[in-house]
Amino acid sequence: MALFADRGYGVEPASGLRMICGCCSEGSVSQNPDHAVGGEQRVSLAAPAEKVPGLLDRWRSAFPGRRSWSAG
């Protein structure tokens, strides 16, 4: 979500996190940086609370029939 990152705020979709064991964390784990995930997703945001709704509304407005958001 470049809209947040471009403003210096943190954003991380839950699909971007991956739990690995201790052995794997010390070695080399292959990943596909271009993986695409569709459907509903949880996203962690690090931005001022008063800015979040407006930014998410702007994000949704790019594809209003395909994007939505809710606080949770």
Domain definitions of the chain by residue range:
1-19+43-64
Predicted pLDDT at 35: 65
- Over residues 9-21, the pLDDT tens digits come to 998 888 777 777 7
Residue 16 to residues 34, 35, 36, 44: CA-CA distances in angstroms? Answer: 11, 9, 10, 10
- Over residues 18-50, the pLDDT tens digits come to 777 777 777 777 766 666 777 788 888 999 999
Predicted pLDDT at 50: 95
* Percent helix, percent strand, percent coil in the chain, to nearest 5: 30, 10, 60
